[in-house]
Amino acid sequence: MSPKSSSGEGSMHDPRDNPKGISQKGATPKKTMPKGAAQKGATPERGTPRGDNHLDGGSESGRNPGLHPESRALHAGWHPDAPGEPLAPSWDPSTVFRHPEQGLSGDSWSYTRLDNPNRSQLERTLASLEGGSEALAFSSGMAAVQAAFHILEPGDHVLLPDDLYHGVRNLITDQYARWGLTFDFVDMTRPGDVTAAANPKTRMLWIETPSNPMLRISDIRALSKLAADRGWISVVDSTWTTPVVQRPLELGADLVLYSTTKYLGGHSDVLGGALVARGGQDFQPILDRLRSLQRQAGAVASPFDCWLMLRSLKTLYVRVRSQCAGAALIAEKLAAHPAVEKVHYPGLADHPGSQIASEQMDLPGAMISFQVRGNEYTALRVVSACSLVIPATSLGGVESTWEHRKTSEFEGTSTPENLIRLSVGLEHPDDLWRDIEQALIAVVPKRDENAGGAEAR
């Protein structure tokens, strides 16, 4: 994996282009608006194809087959075809839509909890980028997690990683144990341990790679095959990687899960989650069950959140590649710094999962966990000593953030007390490193090599 740096140029709007000062946001010349074209605040007319216009490798019209994902991120959800159509998709906030004369059908817009033009555009784009048959957008990542667990029946057994996002651990422990699910946490980097922990009621294999927060790497292809051979459903939480870095469906997984709040949204301003499902008639009943749950339970992404998310996806590939390039540089510098005890990053040659990572990841990612020389107090002081990196939870935004992970997790977590989790943003790597290094120097005691490694101040 050799991340490539990406950069872009922007330009300021020149008011001379619009001398009368007329706002043109979302405006469309009415005389050239084709019948049935989507307009802001308007319901698609009868006979308008559901989901508006789009271009992707699998479009019904067959136009531009084999588009690269960078192009599909821009055009799969919405692409203006006719004169007068807006370049950017419109936001459709309406909760209800007028019925067609012949009454409602499965292809009719009806009620926003059931479906909405903005959600349809977002779901189509996510499915295209991940290579899935369908995507389902939810109001949060945890709502998507809940939907995945609801595939199962009370009494079913789930295998999860022993190192995973604490929110998933809390949900299955606090809520689904009462509901009747049974579960075990195992080391997913050892497929033999997974097999040993299974029982006749095992129905789902939950994979998170790289894991949160220790960045352990699990073999998606091997684990997905193990699940398929035994009739289990394999779910891969790909929040940290996105389809830019890793595409689990190509490796045999059944479902991919995202907290779209993170890298897919990328700007720390929209909450959401998603599931993307593989194709195949054998999986259609599960997909139907998920779609039914999404619409009946109602934990759906709002039209505006979908609109924001679709906007963010347009820059996904540029953002994530640049973040990965910066993270690779920062990880190398951290690994060589005397104030750092250990760095967890799959792009480093000494990472125990680096070989598998190179086979299933296009880039090493933009998340780094590292342990400072010291204790919890030392790590907390380092996190507070930066001026550019922001102490905050969550991840994947354009601004770099970090946190003392142990105090952000559940009581009894096994996360090391001196571990800091860093989400590398789009700042220049030199500026980031200068800020991180001054924090390490200011807080972590220097080591006196002449005194056999004893700390000296």
pLDDT (tens digit per residue) in 291-318: 999 999 999 999 999 999 999 999 999 9
| Residue 396 and residue 288 in one domain | no
- Give the DSSP letter of residue 425: -
23 falls within a domain: no
Residue 83's beta-bridge partner residues?
A: none
Query: What is the share, in percent, of the chain residues with pLDDT greater than 70?
Result: 83
* Percent of the chain clearing pLDDT 90 (strictly above): 79
pLDDT for 43 equals: 35
Based on the fold, state whether residues 445 and 341 are members of the same structural domain. Answer: yes
Yes or no: say if 139 and 330 are a contact pair by the CB < 8 Å rule: no
Hey, CA dihedral for 360, 362, 366, 372, is it positive or negative?
Answer: positive
Reading the block at residue 177, the tokens are 């144990």
- What tens digit of pLDDT does each residue of 384-414 get? 999 999 999 999 999 999 999 999 887 778 8
- Which of 279, 298, 313 represents a domain boundary (last residue)? 313
Mean pLDDT value across residues 149-175: 96
Last residue of a domain, one of 262, 284, 313: 313
Q: If pLDDT is split at 50, 70 and 90, which confidence band does 106 have?
A: confident
- pLDDT level of residue 361 (50, 70, 90 thresholds): very high
Instruction: Report the pLDDT averaged over residues 343-354.
Output: 98
327 shares a domain with 282: no
Q: Which two tokens stand for residue 314?
A: 């347009």
Other residues' Cβ atoms within 10 Å of the Cβ of residue 430: 10
Residue 202 sits in the same domain as residue 285: yes
Domain assignment present for 29: no
The yes-or-no verdict on residue 444 having pLDDT over 70 is yes
- Report the catalytic residues: 113, 165, 237, 262
Better-predicted residue by pLDDT, 367 or 18: 367
Structural domain boundaries, residue 287:
117-313
pLDDT at 424: 98
- Same domain assignment for residues 243 and 323: no
Q: Which residue stretches of 150-239 are H helix? A: 166-171, 177-179, 191-197, 220-230
- For residue 87, give the nearest of 100, 99, 97, 78 by alpha carbon: 78
In this predicted structure, the answer to whether residue 197 has a pLDDT above a threshold of 50 is yes
**CA angle, residues 194, 195, 198, in degrees to nearest 5:** 90
183 phi and psi, to 5 degrees? -160, 160
Does 207 lie in the same domain as 277? Answer: yes
**Last residue of one domain, picked from the residues 313, 342, 363:** 313
Q: What is the DSSP string of 58-118?
A: T-TT--STT--HHHHHHHSS----STT--SSPPP---SB-PPPTT---TTS--BTTT--HH
Q: Give 334's contacts (C-beta < 8 A, 6+ positions apart).
A: 340, 343, 368, 370, 436
Q: Is residue 332 part of a domain?
A: yes
405 within 8 A of 395, measured Cβ to Cβ: no
Q: In angstroms, rounded to a whole number, what is the distance separating the alpha carbons of residues 367 and 351?
A: 14
Q: Is pTM, for the whole model, over 0.75? A: yes
Structure tokens at 59: 């479009």
Domain of residue 271, CATH code? 3.40.640.10
- Within 8 A by CB and 6+ apart from 292, the residues are none
Cis before 243? omega within 30: no
What's the burial of 222, exposed, middle or buried (CB within 10 Å: 0-12/13-18/19+)? middle
CA–CA dist 28, 272 (Å, integer)? 30
Say how many domains are in the chain.
2
Same domain? 211 vs 167: yes
